[in-house]
Each structure stands twice: as structure tokens, then as C-alpha cells.
Structure 1
């Protein structure tokens, strides 16, 4: 029996058949009935809800310890099956019988112990097989029927050789062999025998392997589309001899270098890249993390390359190399202090030198084919820019000088660069560009980025001559006077305009009058309050408008009704929207057209509390409709109200006077001292108890408590209501209410209690002391507020028991004397 070689041994069929039950949720439909995701549902079976028409099934992170023949239902249209980390240990023969049309099978991260000989051979159409991190020990596997296979990814295993099984000679479409992060330490000539016979355009990935030795001639006369040996050598010596052993290799793209900084290059290791001269490559990608106290002469072996990429290294200088065929050069994230001398590189078409610190740039010359130049993020300081820095480079189309330090433009900065189509200066301090028409000769310019260049646009002719310009970004700058109204007059081809963060508080309606092709307008982070310019017919092509983070509180209904018909994205989020019933039409319009607002949940209402976050779409518009209806009803009733107001005034004149007296008393009370300790409200029918008991015990006690009694202390000839306020309530610190059946039935007692309550509410005090002479629980409801007061406050109750009464006088005296 032939089986896969997998770490952990070969086990017979010891696993049980999968039970058709699981603990997880059903799967999620991603796209129609073509794509389903069951990721991380703790499923132990394939749900029956998966339709037979599914083409992609993500079943990763579930629990399928054993793959048996009938595990999968018939899914004849299934093309992509992802079984990543499903705890698969056993794969039986014909396990994939019902999914035989799968073209991509992913088994990453499963602790597979046994794979039967014919478990994969039913997948006749398989093109991509991913066996990453499953414990493979070698590639001597039985999948000889997979003649359509194009990619085999077996990284992060324990494979020790790159030798392919002999039957793979018949795999005519095979193009990718990924063996990264295995245990390959030696590569011998016989290991590449099958690879040599296949004669295919194959990509071989051997990165992160501990290669010690490569037998010379191992890849001689073999053509590879790509060879990745990044971080694949254990030392500089191994890399030196390994590259030399690759002599005769013909490769399209060679990827070398180290992911991590491992050691400092010594002078004895300086020729560790010399073997590159023995390899024929078209493109080289070199990630140089090693530090070196001297410049390594690495480019002399790259003179015939057409594309060179150097990333994240310690390169401090570059010698002049007469490149013969170089078309693209990328040098990124190094420590260059002086720009490389690339003059006379006649074949160079694309040049990218980025992410250096304070690099000196003396210019480029004699590069007739150069089209793309990216010198961003180098802290460049350029004076008298820019034609003098690009001599004899007539075909330059793309120039990126963004994220540099400072650039001074001359009067005709692009006089010899008239073919430029893309020009990017963003976040680089510029001079002169906002004052004169320095860009006039760039008639082919399509993309211009002047964002955050600290430019003040003061001239109407800044963009004259740019008749082909489609994208203009000038965010983070300022405009002098009325410049904004006329600045874009000649940009008739403009499609995208970014005016974000420019401090704009208003836009003249004629500012965009000639921009009939404008489709995107970005006005974020300004101070706009109105959007009247939207009603102009010249903006009918507008599909995207961003006015988020402005000062917009409301948009006129007339403006909303006349916005461009093609507008599909309207961002007004993070504005102080006023959500009042007077703006109901505006709010309803936004709610109705939610689909064009990308962040409708972030359109918040401006409230008194800065911490409050009420979403506009949650505003109660129905309540506003009711309020509007109520307003109409009130208007209709106004006439009736005026007719009966005299009647109501007459009927309630007593209470009006009472309110007036209260208000007068409140104003006068601020300068009045209290003459009494307590004002007693009682019925005249209870006067005997008041005089014999209350006055006797309080005024004749120690210390004496001075009471205000209406029969004794009210001023003769003065209105009763005034006496109640002036002498009783305002002149006393506390109020004692003697409640009895007589009190409840007395209109004056009820009035005095209501006045006292109102007064104390106005004063913010609660100094009413209730004495219950008789049980009046039911009758107390006749007196406004009394029943509620008795329920919510402690009161005193009089009884005939001498012991209880002694406690009564102690509590009463304490309540009166206590100051609040």
C-alpha cells in the first residue's frame, strides 16, 4: 500500500464515521447560492442547507477528524474547498468522490496522520493543492491522476528534498512549487531530474529553508519563471557558494536576501553576491537587511537585468554601473545620502528611489526612454526646480516629488517636460505655484496633487493651460480673496476635485460653472454652512459629494430638490445638524434617501449637551407632525379662547391675585427677616386645641417658640391674603398645619395650605410640619397636594395617650427649632 509520508506514523483505519450532528450554527451565504462560509462554527458534518450549486465553500476551523467517502454530499459545481485547520487526521480512499470537480483544495494546518493512496486521485480537475503545515516529510506522494495540477503549496512542513515524483513529468500545466520553511538543507543534481524534464515555466519557492550546500550544476540549463531563495541560507558562506553553484540557471525573476537583520557583513564576506554573475536573470528582487561598514559592489552582476528591486536595506551609496537593458529600478527604504549616478541609462523607463533621509539630488540626464520618476519621501530640498533636474529626459510622463522638504519652482519649471501626465507634490512645501501660471505648458497633464503644500492661491491663472487635467487635489491649502470663484474656469476636463481642509466658509455658485464633467467633489473638513452651489445645472455629472466635518446645520429644501440627479454618494456626516420640528422636511428627505448617505448612522443631531449623540435617522418626525397638527388646532381655537378668556379671568381672579401676592412676597422676602418661628394653619373650630395644647406647650416651653396665629397676629385692616403672605408665610421659618375634618372642610384652610405649598416650592424649601388631629385619609384628597404630601413625608399624629403625647411634643419642638 502506498501512502503519504507524514510525521506521526502510518495508522490503519481506526477513526469512526462522522456522526451527522454538530454543535455549531449553519453556514452563511456570501454570494447568491455560489459562495458559502461555514468558518469557525464547530461543525462536524456538511450541513444539508448547502445547495448543490455552490462553487466556493469555506469550511475552515471546524471539526472533521476523519474524511470518509460519503462525508460530502454531491456538490458537482464546487470548485474551491477550504478545509483549513479542521483537525483532520485521516483521509480515506475516495473521500472527495462527491466533489470531484474541485479545482482548489486547501488542507492547511491539519494534523494529518494518514492519507489513503487514492484519496486525492478522484480530483481529476484539481489545479491548486495547498498542503501547508500538515506534517509532510517528502513529496513522494500518490496523486498521479492530478494531471491538471498547476500549483502545489507544501510550505511549513518537514520536507528535506525538492525532488518531485516521476509521474509529475506528465503535469504539463504545472507552474508553482512552494516549499518555503521546510527542512531542505542540501540540493543535489538528481533532485532536479524531474524538474529538468518538465521544461516548464515554473516558480520555485525555497525561502526560509536552512540550506547548507547546493551541488554545482543543479539548475544548469533549467529555466525557471521565478526562484525565491530569500532567507534560505544559514550563513554568508553558504550563500556565497550556493549562488555560485547555481551557475547556468536561467530564471525570469530571482528573489534573494534576508527577512531579518542577522549579522554585520565583514570585509571577508564582501563577495557573497559574486555568484549572481553566473546566473542569467531578467529581474532581481533583493531584500538587504544586513548592515555593512562599506559599500558592497553588488550591481556589477546586475548589468544585464531589466528590472532591479532593492528594499529595506542599509545601502548608503551606489557605484556607477553601465546598465545595458535596465528598464525599471526600485530602491526603497535605504540610507542613501546622495542620489545614484544613473546618467546615460538609455533603456531605463521607470525609476523609483523612495524613503531615504535627506538625500542630495543633483538631477538626471540623458535618459531618452525615462517615463516614470518617483522620488517621494526623501526629504529633498530642490531650488530652481524642475527642468534643470531632468535634462534630456523628454518622455517623462509621471513625476512624484511628494513628502519631501522644500521645493522652489522657477518661472518655467516644466519647460522641457511638456509630456507630463501625472505630477504629485503633496505634503511638500512649494513656492510660486499659487501665484503664477507656472504649469501652462503641461497640456497633457491628467493628475495633479498639490495637497498640503502650504500654498496660498492668489492668482486666477494658476491652472491655465491644463486642458487635459482630470484629477486635481489641492486639500489643506488656502485661497486669497475671491480667487476660488475663478480658479477652475479653464479645467473643462476635470472629473475629480479635492478641496478638503481649506478653511472654505462659502463657495460662489459660479466657482464650478465650467466643470460639466466633474463627478467627484471633496469638500470635507471646511467651514461651509450652505450648499447653494449644488443647484447649478453645470454639476449634473456629479456622482460623489463629500461635505462631512463642516458647519452645516440644515440644507434648504430647494437645494435638496435640485441636487444633481446622478448623485449616488452624499456624505454630510459629522456636521452639527439641527434637529428641530421646523426642519422636518429636511430630516424626512435624508431619511427617505438614506442609500446615498454612506454614513447615515454618523449623521448626528446637534443638542444642548455635547455628549449627547442622537442619530438624525432616529429623530421623531411623527412627533413633529403631531405638534404641527396641534398648532393648527390651537390656531383654530384662538378665537374661542379670546371669547372665553374674560370669563376665565373672572372665575379665577382670586387665584390670579393669589399668584400676584406670591410673586410680590417672593421679591420682598430677600430683605425680610422672620418674626416668628412657625405659622399655624388651622380651622377656627379647632382653636381650643391650638390655644390650650399647641400654644401652651410651644410658647410657654423652654426655649419658647413664637407662633403666628391669624386670630392674634394678623394686622387689622389688611387683606387676608396679604396677611397670610407677609405675616404668616414670609414672616415665619416653619409652617405648622393642623389637619382635622374641620380643616378639610374649610375653604380658607385649603387656600392657606395651597399658598404655603406654592411659596415653599418657590423658595426651594420643604418646611411644612403636618399634625393629624383626626383620621382624614379619604377626605385629605379634597385638599390639593395634601394627600400626596402625607404619602411622601413624615407627619405627627395627636393621640389622647399622655405617654405618646409627650413624645409628640418633643418631636414637634425639635422639628420647629431645627434650621434647614
Structure 2
């Protein structure tokens, strides 16, 4: 492969990579912006309706440039380095309604290039080097908007055929080079519809021929910064006499001429123009003008921005409905000048850079909207009924972004129809500990965010039965006020409690908020979200709990989250990404469409400096670990069960071992208190007492016997008595064997214990007395006793006197000899 083939290969694949356009809407909307393309990619379907092809390279538009796109309505060719447009260039896209050619250095426009666009409604030729409006577009009878701003057009003369364009509504000529407007320049405009917007801002107007706009009806006229000087503006405004315009926008930008005190009549020309709405914008601080409103008194809408309005300036408006005074450098709310304006409906006085004093607004019966935000108001007493006297129709009151407002005991008396009340970022005194809002039953929106309020009264929002939106972010709650403060707000749909230092919320806090759709609890100190599982928040769609202290959320809470939840913000919480939280991690992974910014849910508990995302946690590892743990636990439980069965089955033997081990450890430390421990059945007690005890304890030498019913210590367990008092406390063990002995479990236990003990001691200290004959079959059940009788000498009791005497003497002699031997051993 040679170098040229390699270059061709690389170019081919680089072009192929650039051909891919972004699909906004399948088959309908595509964006190829900034792909360095020189043709329309074949990947664009013929059904496309919107195509953004801006910032590419087309240079010359010909018929072959566009494939057949019969459904294309919007085509954006901004800044595609287009230099020429040939005839029939848009033949294959002739159903366009919007064509944007902004920013192309067009030097050649074919005389018939636009004629195929019979359906075009919006044509944008901004910054394309036009020098005239005489364009060949006879067939564009449906044209509504023509934007030709930032060109080099010198005259605003439209082609005569445009007088037939009945739908035409917008001519944008801003930032051109129009300096003179003659009567014949506006002939076509006067013949067109009365609903046209004309934008002439930033043109260097020197002269307007008087009467050039006489009898013309415009929807809007924008002439901001359209005059080269104050004198030119004064003459130009006077030349606009006879103009009827619904909305007049004028003024100037930063880089324009400055108005001086001597220019006292620079607005006099407004008196000869008929307008309903006037917008006067100035970007610098002009000198004081006393007569600013003199020619605006018949306007219905007056907006003034950046104009210095002196205290006591006259405002004799007759028809005004809306007054906007923005950045007007006021020292005081002009209550005296505004009072008694019976037609005023909306008042906006905002963004004054001075502390604004307050005067009462009296007798404005139609006033519904008051915006006094961003004025540095410090209102210590009697807000707000004293401000609004005789204004019963107030619906909107905005006092946000001021310094301080103190509510009086009258609360909002007389303002019963308020629907929107905004105090955000203004310190409000009184709301937290009083029910000043109780009469506002129509209030729908309340914002007291960051208003330095401490809510200590559970009835703060009492009576607000129509409230839809409540914003109380950045404030505080006393004790458990948050548990009760929202009671009866049954219409609430939006609640913002962010950054309120909340540590815990009771499940009943939101019990009445069954219509709540958005709950914002971000920036608090919450550790648990159990209240979400036990509240009636079935319509909740958005929950924001970002920047709290949540480490885990139990599975039962996750399962009880509202089914229609669409936004759940859990970001910036110290989530515990461990195997104990696999339910939460799985929920996060599976519900990323619901979670807002799921990649911002970081496992901060994993490591102090970790940026490990919860969505990257390996749950399978925990599952395998859990399986191993379960297997080990099952094996352990199995062993425990088996051992329990063994212990239960061989409990006596285990008990023997424990007793023998305990006895063996303490045997050398204990002296014998008895000569013999008698093991017998309670049914043989008469014989033991009358024969055995009588003959041995009362004989010579006397033999001290240990009997369970007489010598065992009270309160001590039977087993302990057997080993301590009986076996270990006696030198010998006498076993009285009878039919009852064989059938007694305790007798068998005592014998086997004694036998095991003496085996450990390696001496035969058991004396067996056969009280009565026992069947061989039953005897064999006690294996230890049966073997003992086979290998050891035993005594047998007989009823005759001779046998009794023999037993007595034999026993005594045996004990005497044994005692003597023991004595010798000691």
C-alpha cells in the first residue's frame, strides 16, 4: 500500500465518521451541526421534517445539493460559507416553511432561487451582506417573517409586490445602515396588514421625513438606539406623528449618546404618536427629567428602565393598566402619585439601588398585581394592610429580595383574595409564631424561603385550604413542630423544605398531603426516609433528598415508594456501599431513569477519599458471598441440631461426665462425713429404717449412714446432693436392690454414677444387698448392676432371724475391718 492509497483510505474513513448526524426525533428531526460536511448525508431519511445543517461547508447551493426531502419544513444553513445561490437551488426542498441563511457571505443570489419556496413563512437573511430589500421573491405569498438584520441595507423600501402578502407580520431591519426614511420608503408598509412588527433598532437615523408613518398601523415598533443624537431623536419622534402603534419600544444601549439636563424636550415627540404600550429603556444613569411621563399619560402600559425618576414626579395617567418602574433610582414608593389611579391593574417597582421607603397606596380598586422585589425595603411596622388601603382585588404581592418586613397583628387583613405571596430572601418577622395567614383562604402560592423564620407555632399555616405551593427553604423548626404544621393543607402539591437543618421527620408529618407531587428535602441532616413509607403520598412524582446524611434505605421503604415516581434525587449522600445494602444498590442500578444524576450517588462510606459510584458496585460478589454465608450457616445449624439430638439422647451420660469431672477435681479437698451412702427406692424406706438404719447406726461401733430423705441439703439440686453428700461425702455406698429399685430411674442413675465414680478411684466401695429376688430379664436391663453381681460378692437379705443376725454381724465386722484399714491408711 503506497502513501497515496493510505491517505485516501484515511480521508474516506474520516468523512464516513463525519457523516453521522444526531438523531433528535426518529425520522423527523436531525442535527448535522458542525460536522464539516459538504453535502447532505445519505443517512438522512426522506421523511425528515427538521434539519439543522449549520456550521458546515456548502459554498454554492445548486439543485443537486439537496436530495428529495418532500417533508422538510425547517432548514438551518447558518454559517455554511455559502457564497452563491443558484436558481432552483431549493427545488428538492420546496415545501420549506422556515429557511435560515444567517451568517453566510453571499455574493450572488439567483433571480429565481426563492421562487420554488411557495410555502415559505420565515426567511432569515441576517448578516449575509445584503445591500437592498429588492429581492426576487414574487412567489413567496405566504411569507410572514423577513429577518434581514445586521446587513448593509440603506433604505427600507420593500418590493411593491409584497403589498399582496396578506400574512406578513414581521420586518426585522436591526443594525443596518438606514439613515434616512422618506415617504415613498414606507408606501408598501402602509398598504400591508395592520399587524406588522417593525424593528429598526441600532440604525444610524439622521432624518425621518414628516408624515412617513402617518396613517400606519403597527403592532410593535422597536427604535432603541436608532438615532445618532438627542437632537436627531427629538426631530425623528416628531416626524412619527400620525403613527398608530400598539407597543412602542425606544431608549438606548450602553454605547449610545448620553442625555443631559439641557435636553428637556427630548421626549416631546411622543405626544404626536398614538400608542397603547410604551417601553423606555436606558442603560446608563441619566440626569433628572421631570417631564418623562408627560407624553405617556394616555398609554395603557408604561415600562421605564434605568431612568432617574425624581421624588414627586407627576404620573397623571388616565388609561394605564400596567406600570413598570425598573432600576429607576427611587428613594420612596411614590404612593401619593399612584394613589387614585382607578384603572391601574399591575404595578412593578423593582431593582432600585437605594433603600426604598414606603408610602401607602390608596384607592386603587382594580390593582391586582404588586411587585416590589429587590428594593432594599426595611419595613419595621404594620405590613401589609396599611400599604394597600382600598385595594380589595390584590391577587399577587411580591416583597422578596428586600431587607426586612415586619408583620403587624392585623396580618393580611383586607387582602383576603391574595393568591400569590412571595417573601423569599427577605427577613420576615411574625410569621413563625403567629397565624397571620389564616384569612388567606384563596392563597395558592407562598414563598418564605430564606426569610430567617423559626417555626414555633403549629398553626402558622392554618386556614390555607387552597395552598398549592409552599416554599420554606432555609428556615428552622422548633421541637417537633414539623410534625403538625402541615395539617389540613389538603391542596398542597409542591413543598420545599430544603436546607432547614431537619434531622428527622415523623411519619405523620405529611398525613394530610395526599395531593403532594413534589417534595424537596435537600440539604438537611436526614438519616432515614421511613416517613415516605408510612405517609399517604400516593401522587408524589418528585422527591429531592440530595445532600443529606442518608447511608441506607430499607427494602420496605423502597417497595412502598409511590409507583408514579419520576424524579428521585439521592445524590451527594454518604451511601453505605457494602454487602449489607445490596437491596438499595440493586434498586439504584435498576432505577437510573428515575434517579436524578445517578452518577453523583457516590459510595463515600467505602473510603474517605473515594469517588466510587454506587452504580459501579459489584452486587454479584455480594450475592456469592451471601450464598457462602448461607451454606456455612446451614452447616452450622445442622451440626447444632445433631449435637442437640446427641445431647438429648445421651444426656445422662454427659451429666455423668460433668459430675465426675467436678467431683474428681474436688475429691481430695473434701473429707467424708458419712460411713456409707444408701441407694434405695422410696418404696423400701420402711425396711431401710427398721432394719438397716436400726442395726447399723445403733450398733457398736455405730455406722453413720447418708439417707437422701434425711441428710440431703434443702435448696440444693438433687444431682449436687447425690455427688457431694452421698458419693463424695461417704466412704462406702450401700445399694438396696429390689423390684422397685430396678424400676426407679433415680436409683439407676445413682448406682451408675457411684459405679463410674469408684471406677475412676480404682476401688470397690459398693456393697450390694439383694432385698428381694428380681427377674433375670429385668436385671439385665441394668447392665452395670448385672455385671457387678457377676464379679463381686454381695449380700442377700432373708426374713429369718438367723439370717438377719448373720447380716448384721457380717456387715458390722466388714465395716469394722474396713474402718480400721482406712484408719491405718490415713
TM-score, with structure 1 as normaliser: 0.74
8 A contact 2:287–2:308 mirrored in 1: no
Distance in 2 (CA, whole Å) between partners of 1:550 and 1:385 is 36
The correspondence of residues 632-643 of structure 1 with structure 2, limited to 5 A, is 632-635=630-633
Instruction: Give the alignment's Cα RMSD to 1 decimal.
Output: 1.8
Distance in 1 (CA, whole Å) between partners of 2:17 and 2:80 is 14
Distance 1:89 1:261, change over 3 A: closer
8 A contact 2:27–2:47 mirrored in 1: yes
Distance in 1 (CA, whole Å) between partners of 2:554 and 2:307 is 57
Correspondence for 2:620 among 619, 622, 629: 622
- Matching of residue 229 in structure 1 with residue 229 in structure 2: no
2:533 corresponds in structure 1 to: 535
2:611 corresponds in structure 1 to: 613
8 A contact 1:288–1:314 mirrored in 2: no
Distance in 2 (CA, whole Å) between partners of 1:96 and 1:282 is 42
1:450-473 deviation line (CA, Å, top 9, x unaligned): 111111111111111111111111
2:391 corresponds in structure 1 to: 393
State the 1:361 CA deviation.
Answer: 1.4
1:6-48 deviation line (CA, Å, top 9, x unaligned): xxxxxxxxxxxxxxx8883322111111111111111111111
Correspondence for 2:358 among 350, 356, 361: 361
Correspondence for 2:235 among 241, 245, 267: 241
2:70 corresponds in structure 1 to: 76
Distance 1:106 1:483, change over 3 A: same
8 A contact 1:174–1:200 mirrored in 2: no
Distance 1:500 1:289, change over 3 A: same
8 A contact 2:229–2:257 mirrored in 1: no
8 A contact 2:169–2:193 mirrored in 1: no
Correspondence for 2:348 among 348, 352, 369: 352
1:794-815 deviation line (CA, Å, top 9, x unaligned): xxxxxxxxxxxxxxxxxxxxxx
Secondary structure at the counterpart of residue 596 of structure 1:
coil
Correspondence for 1:554 among 552, 555, 558: 552
Structure 2: give runs of 5+ residues left out of the alignment.
1-14, 641-826
Secondary structure at the counterpart of residue 268 of structure 1:
coil
The correspondence of residues 107-506 of structure 1 with structure 2, limited to 5 A, is 107-260=101-254, 262-317=256-311, 319-340=313-334, 341-356=337-352, 357-382=354-379, 383-506=381-504
Distance in 1 (CA, whole Å) between partners of 2:23 and 2:592 is 25
2:590 corresponds in structure 1 to: 592
8 A contact 2:577–2:606 mirrored in 1: no
Correspondence for 1:602 among 594, 600, 603: 600
Distance in 1 (CA, whole Å) between partners of 2:308 and 2:283 is 7
Give aligned pairs, total: 623
Distance in 1 (CA, whole Å) between partners of 2:553 and 2:492 is 26
1:425-458 deviation line (CA, Å, top 9, x unaligned): 1111111111111111101001011111111111
Distance 1:596 1:461, change over 3 A: same
2:682 corresponds in structure 1 to: none
Secondary structure at the counterpart of residue 624 of structure 1:
helix
State the 1:318 CA deviation.
Answer: 6.0
Distance in 1 (CA, whole Å) between partners of 2:258 and 2:69 is 56
2:572 corresponds in structure 1 to: 574
Q: Which has the larger radius of gyration?
A: 2
1:328-351 deviation line (CA, Å, top 9, x unaligned): 111112311122221111111111
1:678 corresponds in structure 2 to: none
Structure 1: give runs of 5+ residues left out of the alignment.
1-20, 643-820
8 A contact 1:231–1:258 mirrored in 2: yes
Secondary structure at the counterpart of residue 556 of structure 2:
helix
1:643-697 deviation line (CA, Å, top 9, x unaligned): xxxxxxxxxxxxxxxxxxxxxxxxxxxxxxxxxxxxxxxxxxxxxxxxxxxxxxx
